[in-house]
Copies of this chain bind each other. A is one copy, B any other.
Amino acid sequence: MSDQRVVRPTPISGFPEWTPQVRAVEQRWLDHIRAGFESFGFASVETPSVENLDVLTAKGETSQEVYTLHRLQADAEDDSDARLGLHFDLTVPFARYVAQHFNELTFPFKRYQMQRVWRGERPQEGRFREFTQCDIDVINVDSVPLHFDAELPRIVHRVLSGLDIPAWTLNVNNRKVLQGFYEGLGVKDPVAVIRAVDKLHKIGDGGVRDILLAEGLGGEQADACLALARVKGSGEEVAARVRELGISSDLLDEGLDELAFVMGDLADLPEGAVVADLSIARGLDYYTGTVYEASFDDDPGYGSICAGGRYEDLAGQFIRRRLPGVGISIGLTRIFAKLVAEGRITEGRTCPTDVMVVVPGAERRRDALLTGELLRSRGFNTEVFHSTAKVGKQIQYAAKKGIPFVWFPPFDADGAHEVKDMGSGVQGPADPGTWSPDSGADSAG
């Protein structure tokens, strides 16, 4: 301070940071998501923040987004860190993890992973360079039961329904339906069609039709593709509606059976929570069957808030076993930061304290400390005031921090304990060994 130069720090674009009141909500969300994942028996996995670059770039196309690490003062001859990069998602590290720990895991292996990931984006409004993802994946040797394709939307439904977020829909599709339909239609390059239809929500029917015609499809073929993309429904009946379009192929049948199985398994969920939407393609991702994508109903343009699907082989580059899987990722920061920016998060308390114990004076300090210990041992988050300031000042501090209860240990040897409910203002005698908040006050008990 004083004569020293002072540089008031500013936020770094793309690296979100919250005040304690907002962080309290984020922590509650993380706890809720974790509990939801565990309620389905998924095990926690965490991986290091870094992977070797050859692991990160095994799939090539995302390599431009990787942050590599360098020691600030590395010697010229030491390049021990030159091969390390921060992970850009949790799927690649998980694939590496499964291969590396193959003999230590029980399959099908169901894991969740909630960690920060990094993308080497250019600084830009709304682009995160560090964010938290919450992933669940099931991986198995040789084949993964379709059961899990249906279980993942159930888990996402349970998790997102318990968070106070605007209306959203989880859309489900199956890549085999798309590929099989286009093949049955006689299209030569189904991937080109998938790529075109994936733009439907951005460029509309006309735009997609133009691309399809330019790809060499006939008008009827293009119209059939668009008709397929318009099929949408909450139950198994979507399969019948696709069949009504009059196209058939073995792959299409297989895909429709899978889609019907998934939607049938989810029949007990509230109508509209999970919707089969035949326009969802998930771009050119490595998905081969079921695909998932959720977005906000009132802001679909914001993009997906969770996404995933089934892949034929996750870890083939690391191990000589076929390890197919199905997974889904919730974009926690993507959802949370948007709601914070729009003022739609009800901020939490500034601190987790349930009770603040007043220190009546230096000579009664030990009583206050022991009262604090007793309340804490009973499950109440308890602060003992940090000085022997005037009692009014102590109460003021509790009010400013939003602490719901203030405790008064006896002010003299003959006195009694009292507690004040800061919400109602009511104060009365209480026993620290048996007291509990009468009503809905937030306690850790």
Contacts and interface: CB of A to CB of B under 8 A. Distances in A.
Interface of A: 1-2, 4-12, 15-20, 23-24, 26-27, 35, 38-55, 57, 63-74, 78, 80-81, 84-86, 96-97, 99-101, 104-106, 108, 110-111, 116, 118, 120, 122-123, 130, 138, 145, 147-148, 151, 158, 265, 267-268, 313, 316-322, 350-353, 356, 365-366, 369-370, 373, 376, 380-384, 386-387, 397, 400-401, 403, 444
A159 to B, nearest CB: 12
Contacts of A84: 12
Contact of A69 (B20, B69, B101, B319): B69
B48 A12 contact: yes
Q: Which 5 A-B pairs have the closest CB atoms?
A: A41-B353, A15-B48, A41-B383, A71-B120, A1-B316
A26 to B, nearest CB: 8
A63 B350 CA distance: 33
A48 B130 CA distance: 8
A365 B81 CA distance: 51
A387 to B, nearest CB: 5
Q: Report copies per complex.
A: 2
A204 B40 CA distance: 56
Contact of A9 (B10, B52, B148): B52
Nearest to A370: B268
A66 B72 contact: yes
Nearest to A359: B147
Nearest to A99: B9
A76 to B, nearest CB: 14
A54 to B, nearest CB: 7
Contacts of A65: 71-72
Contacts of A18: 46
B122 A78 contact: yes
Given A12-B50, A20-B44, A45-B20, A6 B120 contact: no
